């Protein structure tokens, strides 16, 4: 399988893993295999397979999908080393190294009774992996002809950083339910002495600011005569973020009671992040080298 195809498959599998991780957290299945890792306590075949228990099946599926992502990443790194430019291979190899660290953090989460700080670190690392793989996808895609722009790259990079910060704030905010939407507790500026109230407020302010900024970027991309692919990507990211704001509202209205909503909310946030990383890489000229790649 060629490097371009492998990078896309690995990125898709990573986003699927993130989604399943969100569902695992939302459903309370993170302790489905108790404190045993990587196998399941009291599972079948010595823990290789789960019993007919919902939470164990969810957690088992999460762990084995993570293993599949790791294997795919190794094959992707090999393909990139053989057929892509060396810097692309280095990016994918870095992703493999981060995946190994991710597995270790996953083990610590299980043995620490799902420590909230470690869960957020786990998401931080997951988004780093997704970002690295997104850059690799762009780098193995033929360039569309628009020259790189340093100033435009910076503008897009700011949006990507904002999306990442929004993800991290959301992960922490998830730990405590705070009523009221779009206002936190029905107040424009609530009592920020409670760190969870402050995090919820910051999370929503960031979401609103990012929506406005993405709207500006989508319009500015047309005025700057960026490529059709880049313009479409930015409008898609804006749409995904708008949908995710709606999912966030539903998240509050259902009192964080839907695992499916948790998973969907996280998936859309990850797609926004990956889309902005891709747009930034395009603007930086990462795809220019793709026309000179010896890909098969």
Listed by start position, the domains of the chain span 1-140, 144-296
Q: Has residue 174 got a pLDDT over 50?
A: yes
Q: What pLDDT does residue 243 have?
A: 97
In angstroms, the CA 244 to CA 273 distance is: 12
Q: What pLDDT does residue 295 have?
A: 39
Q: Could you tell me how many helices (H) and strands (E) the chain has, helices first?
A: 8, 0
Residue carrying structure tokens 């026309």: 291
pLDDT bin (cut points 50, 70, 90) of residue 57 is: very high
Q: At what angle do helices 228-253 and 259-284 cross, to 10 degrees?
A: 160
In angstroms, the CA 26 to CA 17 distance is: 14
Of the candidates 28, 31, 29, 50, which has an alpha carbon nearest to the alpha carbon of residue 39?
50
Which of 176-180, 225-229, 243-247 shows the lowest per-residue confidence on average (mean pLDDT)?
A: 176-180
Show the tokens assigned to 188.
């424009």
CB 93 within 8 A of CB 10: no
Q: What pLDDT does residue 291 have?
A: 39
* CA 13 from centre of chain: 11
What kind and span of H or E run contains 215?
A: helix 195-223
> CA end-to-end span of the chain, whole Å?
8
Q: How far is CA 80 from CA 27, 66, 73, 105, 277, in A?
A: 37, 21, 10, 27, 19
Which alpha helices (H) appear in 27-115, and where do they start and end?
54-83, 86-111
DSSP characters for 228-264? HHHHHHHHHHHHHHHHHHHHHHHHHHTTT--HHHHHH
Q: At what angle do helices 3-26 and 116-139 cross, to 10 degrees?
A: 160
Q: Has residue 31 got a pLDDT over 90?
A: no
pTM of the model: 0.89
Average pLDDT, the chain: 87
pLDDT bin (cut points 50, 70, 90) of residue 225 is: confident
Q: Has residue 183 got a pLDDT over 80?
A: yes
- For the segment 153-174, the average pLDDT, to the nearest whole number, is 92
- Which one has a higher pLDDT value, 96 or 195? 96
């Amino acid at each position: 399988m060629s490097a371009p195809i492998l990078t896309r498959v690995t990125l898709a599998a990573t986003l699927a893993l993130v989604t399943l991780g969100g569902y695992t957290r939302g459903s309370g299945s993170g302790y489905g295999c108790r404190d045993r890792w990587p196998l399941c306590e009291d599972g079948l075949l010595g823990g290789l397979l789960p019993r007919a228990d919902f939470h164990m099946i969810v957690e088992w599926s999460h762990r084995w999908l993570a293993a599949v992502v790791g294997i795919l990443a190794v094959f992707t790194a090999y393909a990139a080393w053989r057929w892509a430019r060396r810097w692309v291979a280095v990016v994918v190899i870095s992703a493999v190294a981060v995946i190994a660290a991710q597995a270790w953090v996953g083990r610590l989460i299980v043995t620490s009774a799902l420590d909230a700080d470690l869960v957020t670190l786990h998401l931080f690392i997951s988004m780093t992996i997704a970002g690295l793989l997104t850059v690799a996808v762009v780098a193995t895609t033929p360039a569309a002809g628009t020259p790189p722009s340093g100033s435009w790259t910076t503008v897009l990079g700011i949006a990507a950083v904002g999306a990442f910060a929004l993800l991290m704030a959301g992960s922490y905010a998830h730990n405590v339910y705070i009523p009221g939407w779009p206002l936190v507790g029905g107040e424009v500026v609530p009592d920020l002495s409670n760190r969870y109230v402050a995090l919820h407020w910051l999370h929503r302010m960031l979401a609103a600011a990012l929506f406005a900024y993405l709207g500006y970027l989508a319009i500015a991309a047309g005025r700057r005569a960026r490529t059709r692919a880049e313009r479409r990507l930015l409008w898609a990211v804006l749409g995904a973020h708008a949908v995710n704001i709606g999912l966030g509202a539903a998240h509050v209205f259902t009192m964080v009671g839907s695992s499916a909503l948790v998973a969907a909310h996280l998936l859309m946030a990850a797609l926004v992040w990956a889309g902005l990383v891709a747009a930034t890489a395009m603007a930086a000229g990462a795809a220019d080298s793709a026309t000179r790649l010896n890909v098969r």
